[in-house]
Amino acid sequence: MSDDGIRAQFKLSNPGFALDVDLALPGRGISAIFGASGSGKTTLLRCIAGLDKAVGQLRINGELWQDASHFLPPHRRALGYVFQEASLFAHLTVRKNLDYGMQRLAPAERKVSLDHALDLLGIEHLLERKPEGLSGGERQRVAIARALLTSPRLLLLDEPLAALDLPRKQEILPYLERLHTELEIPVLYVSHSPDELARLADHLVVLEQGKVIASGGLVETLGRLDLPIQLGDDAGVVLQGKIAERDEKWLLAKVLCNDAEFWVRDAGHAIDQPVRIRILARDVSIACSHSNDTSITNIIPAEVIEISQDLHSAQAMVKLKCGQSEILARLTNRSIAILNLVIGSRVFAQIKAVALIA
């Protein structure tokens, strides 16, 4: 492997639990760590931070932090760590909390400026407030800014939205989205939420009982039917695309994903702006012929390329190829039999525009 990227190999045994991972992750962007409670997500982050001393190796973009003969202690690892709770100093203003992060480095070593952090997280207007006067989302934004002001080589976010209600999550998500577009710093993001994965992640790691069962690009990994990723009703895919057209009369936008087109609710994006759309398997139906006598906005020629049993014995997951893009449909086994669906069947995927999240 080249010096670019993150290489993490750890073995750790605790009573009732063992971690055994070997990961090669991108050296920038957001890598999401996903899995059920107890799968080892937080333990993995603690090993990377040096808080749990595991046997193994850790390299961050060419820098050796740990191997058989070398162990960099936590306070010497150039990382920022943000937990579920913001853990700000209650007696200090936001400005002084941020100053605390900056003071860990000499001015010549600072790679993230105060102005950049304030703009990135949208917190300049909060500088003179104390934590008790902030919302949960504001506190987390300040905590992330404080971590960034240490100019870390790596940022660890351990379920930073888990303690927030839905409005506060919606408040902070746009700021987190900017982390993978405006920062060179790689981010490891632990979450239980499929919504957060869909919006934020570039790379996805799936843990189960302390082992890695999948690691790869978000689009490819979510589309695999051979993985026991327990997403339930949230199973689906995320596609990368760009805005190709806007219908101002009906407040819709056309997204081009490779050579497939999808109409979504218009969120005000500019023409040619890169976007993601999330298509849930439960929102996709299949027809054997095209019909104009329907309320469904997106009717796309497709080919059945895989059929797999779903979690419930009455259902199956069908993978469809729409041009160069792949989507999933959750159908009953009865529907599959009635439509006589087999690998290679030529069909039409039907997707409601309101079911797409841009």
> Per residue in 218-243, pLDDT tens?
988 888 887 656 566 788 899 999 99
206-209-210 Cα angle (round to 5): 75
- Closest by CA to 297, choosing from 247, 222, 234, is 247
Average pLDDT, stretch 256-261? 91
Handedness of CA 139, 141, 145, 147 (dihedral sign): positive
pLDDT score of 189: 95
**Which residue has 């729409």 as its token pair?**
322
pLDDT score of 12: 95
| C-alpha distances out from residue 137 to 161, 350, 354, Å | 8, 37, 27
pLDDT score of 67: 94
pLDDT score of 230: 57
Burial 47-65 (b: 16+ CB within 10 A, else e): bbbbebebebbbbbbeeeb
Confidence of residue 1 (pLDDT cuts 50, 70, 90): very low
Confidence of residue 311 (pLDDT cuts 50, 70, 90): confident
* Strand-pair category, 187-190 with 154-158: parallel
What domains can be seen in the chain, in order of their start residue? Answer: 6-222 (3.40.50.300), 236-357 (2.40.50.100)
Compute the distance between CA of residue 358 and CA of residue 198 in angstroms, rounded to an integer.
10
Task: Give the tens place of pLDDT for each residue, 9-47.
Answer: 999 998 889 999 999 999 999 999 998 889 999 999 999
pLDDT score of 102: 84
Average pLDDT, stretch 173-187? 86
Compute the distance between CA of residue 320 and CA of residue 118 in angstroms, rounded to an integer.
44
pLDDT score of 358: 59
Confidence of residue 84 (pLDDT cuts 50, 70, 90): confident
Confidence of residue 61 (pLDDT cuts 50, 70, 90): very high
Amino acid at the residue 277: I
What distance separates the 2 farthest-apart alpha carbons in the chain? 70
Tokens of 73: 């202690």
Mean pLDDT value across the chain: 90
Answer whether 78's CB lies under 8 Å from 147's CB: no
